[in-house]
């Protein structure tokens, strides 16, 4: 089971979100608890009645700016329990976390492959005091582990509730469940990557044939929809609202990730810059520059206009799984500066075969093997100078290479000593 907790300023907003799902047939209101004075059956209550009780209690302490407690409890795919047992799980969770005497409403959602509950309550008790929330997430995690044993649920650490890095695959329109595949990419990128702008988020999604689009919403903040795209960035099939996808990757979530990404990247960019600067100095062609960077764990994502001219460039630090613009990396790494040093016409890296994942070796064995491989490759290039020039790597090949690189473990990166040897050989592009 996976549990997520969020806070908000308006209990009505959280109730409306769930009631909207009920109205669409995507959820069911299972119960209201501690709604003293309310005698109608749970299914006959209106939205106003459900929300009013929570609002009234929240108003007992206006100093609490975010009185809404909103939790989601997700079971593993394939775990199907009757409503009575789902409700028992909700009650056990609220009681264990200290909200058992609070008014709360329980919903069961059916809009994903994972059966899940939503519980809406308030952080203000009947005396107007704040419900203690010290170490709430830590207590919730311990409670979740206990409940997995009590109810015989799959352990969250072992259940495949979210896509792993090496399972992330480009969406192929017309194959499989489009909504499920788009959701896997979106939530996989949110989980695995660090970015600091909406553009960078879309660049990462684009690697996997997905696009995020802001949409205007009357009287509300802009919303998000996600859709599949082809190699020409043309939308394919239906677009799906962010709130309808598992884990709800809405704009609020995206903004939090972007703000956090700015700080994280600010702390890490110095390491990446120190890695990339000597490679740039040793490079005199786009081909050599990109291959050396790739060996060091950095992938180049060019941004080309319709005329094929390079107007922007991004760098993905594979080891840290963070994306940077050229200007974030440094003035020497902007598209204009790179064209001055490496050539006005951008060329993709030479075609090369992406190796199979190798078994983990000791550092000494890995370095020795790498040195032998480099010598062999140098001899091969010398003996075959007159052979046909390698074909340029097409977009799909670049994506495959990037996907492989993202799936590699940190232990499989080239060592600093090998990188130095590569730089010494960088006076001419090395084919691999």
Model pLDDT for residues 141-173, shown as the tens digit of each residue: 999 999 999 988 887 655 444 433 445 788 989
Q: Are residues 41 and 114 in the same domain?
A: yes
- Within a 13 Å sphere around the CA of 65, how many CA atoms are in the beta-carbon half? 0
Q: Are residues 106 and 219 in the same domain?
A: no
For residue 404, being part of any structural domain is answered with no
Give the pLDDT score at 409: 40
Q: Are residues 232 and 322 in the same domain?
A: no
Residue 327: both structure tokens together: 């200007």
Report which of 228, 231, 118, 237 is spatially closest to residue 183, judged by C-alpha positions.
Answer: 228
16: exposed, middle or buried (Cβ count in 10 Å: 0-12, 13-18, 19+)? middle
- How far is the C-alpha of 305 from the C-alpha of 294, rounded, in Å? 24
For residue 168, being part of any structural domain is answered with no
Q: Are residues 127 and 217 in the same domain?
A: no
> Among the residues of 282-394, which ranges form H helices?
286-295, 326-329, 335-342, 363-383
Q: Are residues 245 and 285 in the same domain?
A: no
For residue 97, being part of any structural domain is answered with yes
Instruction: State the CB neighbour count (10 A cutoff) for residue 182.
Output: 26
**Does the pLDDT at position 134 exceed 70?**
yes
For residue 387, being part of any structural domain is answered with no
For residue 406, being part of any structural domain is answered with no
pLDDT over 90, % of the chain: 42
**CA distances for 150 relative to 3, 14, 88, 155, 157, angstroms:** 16, 29, 11, 11, 16
Q: Are residues 313 and 337 in the same domain?
A: yes
Q: Are residues 10 and 141 in the same domain?
A: yes
Query: Which of 224, 249, 274 is a domain's end point?
Result: 249
Q: How many domains does the chain have?
A: 3
Helices (H) and strands (E) in the chain, counts: 13, 11
Query: Which of 342, 375, 390 is a domain's end point?
Result: 342
Q: In terms of residue numbers, what domain contains 109?
A: 2-151
- Which domain CATH number covers 66? 3.30.930.30
> What are the φ/ψ torsions at residue 266 (nearest 5 degrees)?
-60, -35
**CA distances for 312 relative to 189, 302, 319, angstroms:** 21, 6, 22
Query: Parallel, antiparallel, or unpaired: how do β-strands 210-215 and 223-229 relate?
Result: antiparallel
pLDDT tens for residues 252-278? 889 988 998 898 888 889 989 999 999
For residue 287, being part of any structural domain is answered with yes
Q: Are residues 13 and 50 in the same domain?
A: yes
Q: Are residues 145 and 6 in the same domain?
A: yes
Q: Are residues 81 and 202 in the same domain?
A: no
- Contact call for residues 423 and 292 (beta carbons, < 8 A): yes
As a whole number, the mean pLDDT across the chain is 80
Give the pLDDT score at 9: 87
Give the pLDDT score at 110: 85
Report which of 248, 261, 12, 2 is spatially closest to residue 137, judged by C-alpha positions.
Answer: 2
**Does the pLDDT at position 244 exceed 60?**
yes
Place 362 in a pLDDT band, splitting at 50, 70 and 90.
very low
For residue 105, being part of any structural domain is answered with yes
Give the pLDDT score at 62: 93
Residue 127: both structure tokens together: 């005396």
Across the range 18-22, mean pLDDT stands at: 88
Give the pLDDT score at 220: 78
Q: Are residues 228 and 270 in the same domain?
A: no
pLDDT over 70, % of the chain: 78
Q: Are residues 221 and 282 in the same domain?
A: no
For residue 18, being part of any structural domain is answered with yes
Query: Which of 304, 321, 342 is a domain's end point?
Result: 342
Give the lowest-confidence range in 68-72, 273-277, 335-339, 362-366: 362-366
**Does the pLDDT at position 414 exceed 50?**
no
> What are the φ/ψ torsions at residue 385 (nearest 5 degrees)?
-60, -30
**pTM greater than 0.85:** no
pLDDT tens for residues 171-228? 989 888 899 899 999 988 988 899 999 999 999 999 899 999 999 877 778 889 999 9
Indicate the DSSP class of residue 284: -
């Amino acid at each position: 089971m996976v549990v997520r907790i969020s806070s908000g300023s308006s209990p009505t907003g959280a109730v409306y979100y769930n009631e909207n799902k009920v109205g669409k047939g995507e959820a069911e209101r299972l119960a209201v608890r501690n709604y003293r004075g309310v005698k109608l059956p749970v299914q006959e209550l209106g939205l106003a009645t459900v929300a009013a009780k929570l609002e009234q209690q929240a108003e007992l302490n206006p100093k609490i700016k975010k009185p809404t407690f909103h939790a989601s409890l997700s079971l593993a795919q394939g775990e199907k329990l009757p409503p009575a047992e789902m409700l028992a799980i909700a009650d056990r969770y609220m009681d264990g976390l200290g909200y058992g005497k609070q008014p709360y409403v329980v919903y069961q959602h059916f809009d994903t492959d994972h059966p899940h509950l939503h519980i809406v309550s308030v952080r203000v008790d009947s005396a107007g005091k704040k419900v203690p929330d010290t170490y709430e997430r830590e207590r919730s995690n311990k409670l979740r582990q206990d409940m997995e044993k009590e109810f015989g649920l799959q352990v969250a650490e072992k259940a495949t509730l979210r896509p792993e890095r090496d399972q992330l695959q480009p969406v192929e329109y017309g194959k499989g469940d489009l909504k499920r595949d788009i959701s896997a990419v979106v939530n996989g990128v949110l989980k695995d990557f660090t970015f600091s702008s909406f553009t960078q988020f879309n660049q990462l999604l684009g690697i996997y044939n997905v696009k995020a689009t802001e949409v205007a919403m009357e009287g509300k903040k802009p919303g998000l929809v996600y859709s599949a795209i082809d190699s020409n960035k043309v939308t394919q099939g239906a677009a799906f609202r962010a709130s309808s996808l598992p884990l709800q990757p809405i704009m609020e979530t995206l903004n939090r990730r972007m703000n956090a990404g700015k700080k994280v990247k600010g702390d890490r960019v110095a390491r990446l810059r120190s890695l990339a600067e000597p490679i740039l100095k040793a490079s005199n062609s786009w081909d050599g520059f990109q291959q050396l960077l790739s060996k060091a764990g950095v992938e180049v994502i060019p941004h080309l206009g319709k005329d094929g001219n390079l107007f922007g460039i991004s760098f993905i630090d594979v080891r840290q799984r963070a994306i940077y613009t050229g200007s974030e990396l440094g003035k020497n790494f902007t598209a204009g500066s790179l064209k001055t040093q490496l050539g006005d016409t951008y060329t993709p890296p030479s075609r090369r075969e992406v190796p199979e994942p190798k078994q983990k070796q000791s550092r000494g064995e890995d370095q020795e093997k790498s040195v032998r491989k480099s010598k062999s490759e140098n001899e091969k290039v010398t003996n075959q100078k007159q052979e046909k020039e390698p074909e340029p790597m097409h977009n799909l090949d670049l994506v495959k290479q990037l996907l492989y690189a993202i799936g590699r473990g940190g232990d499989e990166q080239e060592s600093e000593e090998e990188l130095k040897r590569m730089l010494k050989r960088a006076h001419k592009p090395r084919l691999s």
